[in-house]
Each structure stands twice: as structure tokens, then as C-alpha cells.
Chains A and B, each alone.
Chain A
Amino acid sequence: MKKVFSRPKSLRKVSMHYCPGCGHSIIHRLIAELLDELKLRDKTICVPPAGCAVLAYYYLDIDMVEAPHGRATAVATGIKRVHPKNLVFSYQGDGDLAAIGTSEALHAANRGEQITVIFVNNAVYGMTGGQMAPTTLAGQKTTTSPFGRDPKIEGPPIRVCELLATLHNTSYLERVAVNSPAHIKKTKNALRKAFEHQKKNTGFSLVEILSPCPTNWRMDPLQSCKWIDEVMVKEFPLGVLKEVKC
């Protein structure tokens, strides 16, 4: 019998710690599949975030270095400048990239660092227990916005892709989601494109992935997937925000 589905080589044979219904495990797998398919595993260096996905280094079988919270794009900049031929990507959450690390991300993008950012947007701080994130939706209840986020006081959610699209040296920006098989396929394609852009040194690439966090959303996995389609996507429309010629 022909084997049609197996564990990617770049994914270690361990069980993950992620909660049921969490998007990280899907995203990790997509990355691993792509590194296998593009034969990039032995050229890749990843900078995982502070947050739930910090333990990505136990799952992805590639060179990894931890960054202080928010500094992944600065660390990735240092690595890429020393090894311009390697594939260097950071993996960051919404608090990491759009709050504490906004400055580093914005300026790495503006310099056009030849790196890829995998930006996982689940609208909350996951690891610390579901506090309000810069991408928390208006009215969304979190442990630090118990009455719902009030845009007049806390500001509206930040749209990272739209923000970065204004910068000249960004080359590929796409927002995708991992809440359905069709969307997961599109996510894989977006990641593939981002890696290809990096390979061709077109500039800074970022893929924003809307990802469910059932535990902190106080929903079950199915409700979470539905919530992305019905609520989240309205604030964070899916699609390619920017693509330069590759």
C-alpha cells in the first residue's frame, strides 16, 4: 500500500502540550511540511516567541534560539545579517509582536530585513491566562477587560498587516486563518509564498494567522472555529495585503 500521509521529518515525534482546539499545533505542522517540501530544514533558523509557542523548539526539529518577549525580529535581524543565505523566521503572538515588540517588528519591516514573521493572532494573551491583547476585538471579554474591550478607552484592535503594508520595504503580507481545512490549505500556501519571497530577497514578509484559543475564549473548539468566521474575520479581513513581484 502506498503511504499518502505521514509525519513531516521536520516535526519531532513528541506529543504537543497545546490545549485541545489550539491553532499552534496546526501551524507547526504546516511549517514542518513546508520545510520538508522545500528542502529547507537544514538551512532554517527559527526564533520562537515568549508565549505558549515558546516550546515550539521541542516540536520543530530545526535550529532555534529563544528571544526575549517582543524582540524576535531584532534577534532574527542579527542572525539573518550574519547568515544571509539561511531561511530565518520568527514565530510571534499578538502580544509579542503587536504590543511589546511593535517597535522591533515595525523597524525590521521598514529596513526590509529579509526575514519572515509568522504572526499568530488569537486576540488574547494565551500563556499568561487570557488577558486583553492589542488585537482583542471591541467588546471582547478577557480577564483584564472583564466588561469587554472599550475602543474609546483601550483603543480598537491593531491591524498589523494593514499597518505594515504602508511601509515601502515590506514585500509580502497576507492574513489567513486555520479554522477550516480550506483555510489551512490557504495558510500553507501563504507560508510557502513568504518563504519563497525570503529566498529571493524581496524584503520583509509576514503571514498573519487567525488562530483559535478555545481555552481563553471560553468556547469549545468548534465554537472557536465558527467565531473566527463570524466575528474575527470582520475585524481582520483575510487575503493578501501586499505582494511585490517575486
Chain B
Amino acid sequence: MNKQLMYGTHAIGEAAIQAGCTCYFGYPITPQNELPEYMSRRLTEVPGGVFIQAESELASINMVLGASVAGARAMTSSSSPGISLKQEGISFLAGMELPAVIVNIVRGGPGLGNIAPAQSDYFQATRGGGHGDYRIVVLAPASVQELADMTFAAFDLADEYRVPVMVMGDGMLGQLMEPVVMPVRKKKKLPEKDYILTGAKRRPARLVKSLILDTKAMEDHNWKLMRKYRRIEQNETRWESFLLDDAEMVVIAYGTAARIARGAINRLRREDESIRVGLIRPITLWPFPTDVLKKASQKIKDFFVFEMSAGQMVEDVRLALDGSGTIHFYGRPGGVVPTPAELARSIARHYYQSQRKQKK
């Protein structure tokens, strides 16, 4: 397909359709309204396309549940306060092992917060978010192209493992216009959907549920889910690195923050040739690239975490390093998007201080 200039939210919508998504259910909330608007038009052109502007986030995530159990590729999208409301449904999807794609265009919080880009839903996304022992796959794109690619990939991941998958962007990515090449669907071998409900014709009746009253059976189900999550950790952990080879300090940032971090690192290296800073960018926030950080810590001792939050991913970095490095942190919560120059100043300060300490 040709390269085209697209809004982030529209790229998500078009990629979903290219991935075979036929059902979209959502409720308006800023800053992601252009996505349901796009889907309301676009899904009329898709055979069997269903678009419902639901009465609430609760209704929309449960419509996703219904469409998913009926066998369709279904999605919903929202922004932070709306995602909180969807957590009930996400927990049920996880318990019932139903695929679904959820897009969160994160805004500042807590509460109503604001409508500016933020990364303060990291805890909620990576810890499951709702009640019970479960995880969801969380993808963190950093460009409009990646919004398209990861939304596209999310549907396969969801079907492959029968899990809800979240694409987590922010208000900036959603509103950004960039050139995109739409992914094209190829034949991929995915597990047969032998659980979907179509009416029990020439087969025994099927039952999809999350209620397991027997404690032993519930425990078994929990361990089964955990085994699946371990498989996802082994197979689907994604990250990328930038200028890591000679790095003495590594910045860890994801999504929009990783973009800013690249700018800051380029700037620093340009200004002072002796400064050796690299970047590790988690692409999957869950599963978190723990092993990559562990490995990096054999060589590098300074880790600089940058988040557009008051500090959430920094806890995963701490867990991954398990004491084997110094963690520096720069956080900008509340919807503030710092410039690369601002970030560079903070990195430089920590870098030089750390170098001085080492010399002593």
C-alpha cells in the first residue's frame, strides 16, 4: 500500500479494519473521538461491519465481549477515565479467555484530570487493571506508523493467546499527523476459534464463563492463565535500543517519552562527544523487557527512567535491575510534554554527577 499522511487516531482505525476488525463499540471521550468518528463511517463499507456508539464504557466493553464470543474481531477505544470504567469487562475477558483489542489514548489524571498527553495509566494497564489474577498485553507505539502496526498486530496477538490486548498511546500520538504505510493482512496460522457461540448445531452446546465456584478448579484456571502469561513473556516481549554499544548511561522510556528521549540523546551527543548515553525503549509494557535490562546492567550501571507520569514504569525497572544499578528518574505528570532540551538538561546533570562520583 502507498504511503499516506494520516492522523494517529485514523491510522489506528484503518489498521484495525485492515486486520479484519468488523466490530467497534465506544463512547465519546477526548482525546480519541476521531477514532470512533472514523469507524462510524468506515465500518459501513466493511461486510458485516458493526459500529455502535454505546451508552457507556461499561456497555461498550461488554458489547466487545459479546462480539468476541460470537467470533468477530472486535475493539473499543477510550481515554483514561473511560478505561477505568472498562476494567470490569477487561477482567471478564481475561477470565473467559476472550480476545479483544482496547485502545487507550492516555490523558492526565487522576480523576477527570485533563485532556493532555500522559503516561499515568501504566500501573493500571500493566497490572491487569481490574480485579483478579491476570495480565493483558500492552503495546506502546511511538509514532503514527507504529499506531497502525501495533493495532494491526494486536488482533493477531489477541487471537493467538485469547487475551485482551491494549494499545496504549497518548493524546499527542493520537493527534499527530505522519506518513503511514498501512499493514496488509497475510494468511497467518492462528488457533481455531473452537469456543465461539453460534448456536449448538451438530455439536455439543458451548459455555463461556468466568465463574468457577470450586476453589481447586479456580486455582487450576489461575495457573493455566499464568502458564499462558509465561508463554507470552517468552515469545512476545518487544523492545528496541538506540546507541547502546558505548553507553555508560541508558535512558529507559516508552511511547512519546521515548521519542523525546531520542531527541535529547542526539542533542547531548552532538553537544559533548564524551557523553555516552543510549536508550532502551520497551515496546511491550507487559510483558516488560526485564531480561534486556538485566543484561544491560552487566555493563551499564546508570539507568535514567523518563516517564510522563510521577513514576510508574520506574518500579518495573527497579524490579528488573534488582539492585544492580543506580536508577535516576525524571517524571513529568499532569499532561506536561517536556522538550528534548529540557530532558537533555536533566540527563546531563545526572550523567555528569554520576561520572564525578565514579572518579572519586
Contact = CB atoms under 8 A, between A and B. Distances in A.
Contacts of B55: 103-104, 106-107
Contacts of A71: 58-59, 62, 65, 88-89
A135 interface: no
A1 interface: no
A57 B67 CA distance: 19
Contacts of B211: 54, 66
State which size class the interface on A falls in.
35 or more
Given A77-B66, A78-B67, A79-B70, A63 B198 contact: yes
Interface string A44-84: 11010000001001001111111110010011111111110
Interface in B50-108: 50, 52, 54-56, 58-60, 62-72, 74, 88-89, 92, 96
A104 B52 CA distance: 13
A45 B92 CA distance: 18
A63 B88 CA distance: 23
A173 B64 CA distance: 27
A87 B197 CA distance: 12
Nearest to B66: A78
A42 interface: yes
A60 B207 CA distance: 11
A160 B223 CA distance: 42
Interface in B183-219: 197-202, 205-211
A43 B199 contact: yes
B200 A67 contact: no
Nearest to A64: B207
Contacts of A198: none
Contacts of A202: none
A181 to B, nearest CB: 29
A45 B201 CA distance: 11
A169 B208 CA distance: 30
Contact of A57 (B23, B56, B207): B207
Contact of A82 (B50, B62, B206): B50
B201 to A, nearest CB: 4
A60 B74 CA distance: 27
Interface string A165-176: 000000000000
A41 interface: yes
A68 B207 CA distance: 15
Interface in A104-132: 104, 106-107, 111
Interface in A9-56: 41-45, 47, 54
Contacts of A83: 70, 198-199
A81 B199 CA distance: 14
B197 A45 contact: yes
A104 B208 contact: no
Contacts of B67: 78-79, 81-82
Nearest to B63: A78
A75 B199 contact: no
B110 interface: no
A187 interface: no
A67 B65 contact: yes
B96 A44 contact: no
A82 B48 contact: yes
A82 B199 contact: no
State which size class the interface on B falls in.
35 or more
A51 to B, nearest CB: 11
A86 interface: yes
A225 B104 CA distance: 51
B152 interface: no
Nearest to B89: A68
B200 A74 contact: no
B25 interface: yes
Given A66-B210, A82-B48, A75 B66 contact: yes
Contact of A65 (B25, B48, B72, B197): B197
A63 B50 contact: no
B96 A42 contact: no
Given A62-B205, A71-B59, A78 B199 contact: no
A62 B55 CA distance: 29
B86 to A, nearest CB: 11
A71 to B, nearest CB: 4
Nearest to A60: B205
A81 B54 contact: no
B256 to A, nearest CB: 32
B200 to A, nearest CB: 5
B200 A75 contact: no
A54 B92 CA distance: 15
The residue in A57, A62, A63, A103 that gathers the most chain B C-beta atoms within 10 A of its C-beta is: A63
11 contacts: A45-B70, A64-B206, A64-B208, A66-B96, A74-B60, A74-B66, A75-B62, A77-B59, A77-B63, A83-B199, A86-B199
Instruction: Give the top 9 A-B pairs by smallest Cβ distance, nearest first.
Output: A78-B66, A82-B70, A74-B62, A42-B201, A78-B67, A107-B55, A71-B62, A75-B66, A66-B209
Given A42-B200, A82-B50, A83-B70, 14 more contacts: A62-B205, A65-B197, A66-B96, A66-B210, A67-B62, A71-B62, A74-B54, A78-B65, A78-B69, A78-B70, A79-B67, A103-B58, A104-B59, A107-B59
